[in-house]
Structure 1
């Protein structure tokens, strides 16, 4: 294995790094052999000079192999996963998982917390009392076997190389490097061992990548690398120029998710969910029709599936009899000065405003105001 100094010297000069060099970076990040300064230099060099397709695949695999691999597809054939690049009001995962499980398609999702102006599924689910979100392989397999779905935060054993690199990307202005994004996403997503992954790549003002062409390129790279690493994948590029649904806020979005699961949710949220469900099922050879999925929602069976899953992961059964999703008591109504059509929504700003109202953490471990909306 080459010395880190030599690897960084080649990268600075624009010379191509070999797969072994990228493996050294991942090993150094996971094991502590590389300092933050050296890892930051690697990230900056990779962002400036780029990584080609083979290098992106090699870095992804090295980061994936830095931690545990669950290989759940061996026990659950036809297992799927879903990943969203994040947006404002994006509560699709909470609706999609029970809808697929109730339709006979098992699904595992290692969810995340909010980042910047975008909300996190794990933060929304914290509004369910008693729900245990930390999952290891055994607990994920047990919940999958009993309910057909498992959602939760990954343990520290999943892609430890990414944990360090992810934090340093934010500090080194390399967050928007597509190869680094691909390696970060897939090193975690591929760890569960799903047979197929559907990606929801957002574009627009409220998205991580506002530019649609960049979102399309990210979608292409995600699908390509998945295929090269023995996982079927597809991607939809969906609009985030306005919030998804009618509410932005953790408890409010959970309530809206429950409405969707009863067939009463806002049209845009339901349509995106149905499109992703159909694509995810197709990856594992299951043909789902939109109308059948609508009936599953309207019947309440998907909501019952979510309730059974949550109870299996420690949630209070009695809470679901009358869910308490209280919003913040202070309300400000801003009336329009005149009649008209709303031409544009400052979606990113709305996400940031939620954070300022207590809906985002300023430091790790800080308690959220889940009622803010």
Structure 2
């Protein structure tokens, strides 16, 4: 078998066999296939696509390019959740204690943030002492005992994906549904969960800008899950503006706490309850969505979910007092108001620009390995449909930087106003 022949086959619209796909992934992981040939292959996939069987085989080959996590010692149906990334997306911080509170084991593997999207691990590390590096034994013990654990992804998980992802980033082949879907699903399957709920974001702050793209990606990932014996549900949710009002690591922990106290913003609460409901259905605690949603609302009102969050912090080495007193989270020195320059209604908010602004303030990374400032972030004061008067604050920038003119200008460019109130945004578009 020769890589050049397989590139040619795919370029001409042919379908690759499982053996051919395994040859490509194994060879690339071992360094036998050079970057220039893998770049050519990624570009052929970008233009020619892959059929369902090819995508399933490609995903499976990536799963087995490194170690896989055996969660069989964990009792019950293990459910994991993955978001395709957005701005202000702190849903994982809410659903882990919420779903665990009704007895579904949540074995959560999460990553760090890069670019305009935040990482769950970074958010939790804004809590003093919180440990995300857990041994396999500790991880399994916590899920069996407390029904929940969250840890950073192992360096040996899906090494082929890490190499291919870096290559796609510099060859403009990121925006390919077979490559995106196999990347996401390989990590989830290698992480060992029995069932997966996918939160597929759509809008200005998401990777998928149109609903048609989001549906295609969701359908592809659900089909991969089925073909590899994982029950998978995809929920398409809105990311045309930031989720909730807070962006930044400590800020987002605070807002997650308010949701678990029953006082959170409507959009974030609805999305979190929807994702959690499907997780409990897959975990076979509830039979249908309406029952699950109603019962989880009750769990929040009762204070059980809030108590479970404190327990999560405690068992992973964090200071649980922070949950009762969020003012103990890291605080930035400077708080800069950005004011509306005209009256009217907020017509749109470019969520991606908001995420990049937060990164400029210190809340995110431009490249892997960058240090982040857990106290930096943005509080949105006005969202789409809200009425605003000229001179009224629309958001607050939180930073330890002395000079942030670029961030201020970017945030202004992210907002647009109109004289007519825009229609209400849907929080959840579709479930696949």
One fold, TM greater than 0.5? Answer: yes
Deviation at 1:9, TM superposition (A): 3.0
1:9 aligned to 2:13? no
Q: SS of the residue aligned with 1:344?
A: strand
Deviation at 1:322, TM superposition (A): 3.6
Q: Name 1:310's counterpart in structure 2.
A: 313
Deviation at 1:74, TM superposition (A): 5.5
Q: SS of the residue aligned with 1:360?
A: coil
Q: Name 2:222's counterpart in structure 1.
A: 223
Q: Flag the structure with higher helix content.
A: 1
Deviates more, 1:232-241 or 1:289-298: 289-298
- Mark the CA change 1:233 to 1:371 in structure 2 (over 3 Å): closer, same or farther: same
Q: SS of the residue aligned with 2:267?
A: helix
What residue ranges of structure 2 are gaps of 5+ in the alignment? 378-432
Q: SS of the residue aligned with 2:38?
A: helix
Paired with 2:271 and 2:283, the residues of 1 have a C-alpha distance of 19
Q: Name 2:123's counterpart in structure 1.
A: 124
Deviation at 1:320, TM superposition (A): 4.7
Q: Name 2:294's counterpart in structure 1.
A: 291
Deviation at 1:43, TM superposition (A): 1.3
Deviates more, 1:32-41 or 1:93-102: 32-41
Larger radius of gyration: 2
What residue ranges of structure 1 are gaps of 5+ in the alignment? none
Deviation at 1:233, TM superposition (A): 0.9
The answer to whether the 8 A contact 2:66-2:159 is kept is yes
The answer to whether the 8 A contact 1:143-1:309 is kept is no
Q: Name 2:255's counterpart in structure 1.
A: 256
Q: SS of the residue aligned with 2:336?
A: coil
- Mark the CA change 1:139 to 1:245 in structure 2 (over 3 Å): closer, same or farther: same
Q: SS of the residue aligned with 2:115?
A: coil
1:300 to 303, 307, 311: 303
Q: SS of the residue aligned with 2:337?
A: coil
1:48-106 Cα offsets, whole Å, 9 max, x none, are 11111100000000111112222325633221111110111100010011100001111
Deviates more, 1:171-180 or 1:8-17: 8-17
Q: Name 1:48's counterpart in structure 2.
A: 47
The answer to whether the 8 A contact 2:106-2:147 is kept is yes
Deviation at 1:338, TM superposition (A): 4.4
Q: SS of the residue aligned with 2:339?
A: coil
Please show how residues 27-176 of structure 1 align to structure 2 within 5 Å: 27-73=26-72, 75-176=74-175
The answer to whether the 8 A contact 2:115-2:366 is kept is no
Q: Name 2:353's counterpart in structure 1.
A: 349
Q: SS of the residue aligned with 2:220?
A: helix
Q: Name 1:366's counterpart in structure 2.
A: 370
The answer to whether the 8 A contact 2:126-2:330 is kept is no
Q: SS of the residue aligned with 2:346?
A: coil
Paired with 2:216 and 2:14, the residues of 1 have a C-alpha distance of 24
Q: Flag the structure with higher strand content.
A: 2
TM (norm. structure 1) is 0.94
Paired with 1:8 and 1:344, the residues of 2 have a C-alpha distance of 43
The answer to whether the 8 A contact 1:262-1:299 is kept is no
Deviation at 1:47, TM superposition (A): 1.1
Deviation at 1:319, TM superposition (A): 4.7
Aligned length: 372
1:306-361 Cα offsets, whole Å, 9 max, x none, are 22222222223455564422332212222334442211111111111111111221
The answer to whether the 8 A contact 1:73-1:195 is kept is no
Deviation at 1:366, TM superposition (A): 1.7
1:207-252 Cα offsets, whole Å, 9 max, x none, are 1111110000111111111011111111111111111001111110
Deviation at 1:299, TM superposition (A): 2.9
Q: Name 2:426's counterpart in structure 1.
A: none
Q: Name 1:340's counterpart in structure 2.
A: 344
Q: Name 1:269's counterpart in structure 2.
A: 268
Deviation at 1:146, TM superposition (A): 2.2
Deviates more, 1:172-181 or 1:336-345: 336-345
Paired with 2:129 and 2:41, the residues of 1 have a C-alpha distance of 41
Paired with 2:145 and 2:128, the residues of 1 have a C-alpha distance of 20
Q: Name 2:388's counterpart in structure 1.
A: none
Deviates more, 1:86-95 or 1:33-42: 33-42
Of structures 1 and 2, the one with the larger relative CO (CA 8 A, separation 6+) is 1
Q: SS of the residue aligned with 2:235?
A: strand
Paired with 2:211 and 2:7, the residues of 1 have a C-alpha distance of 33
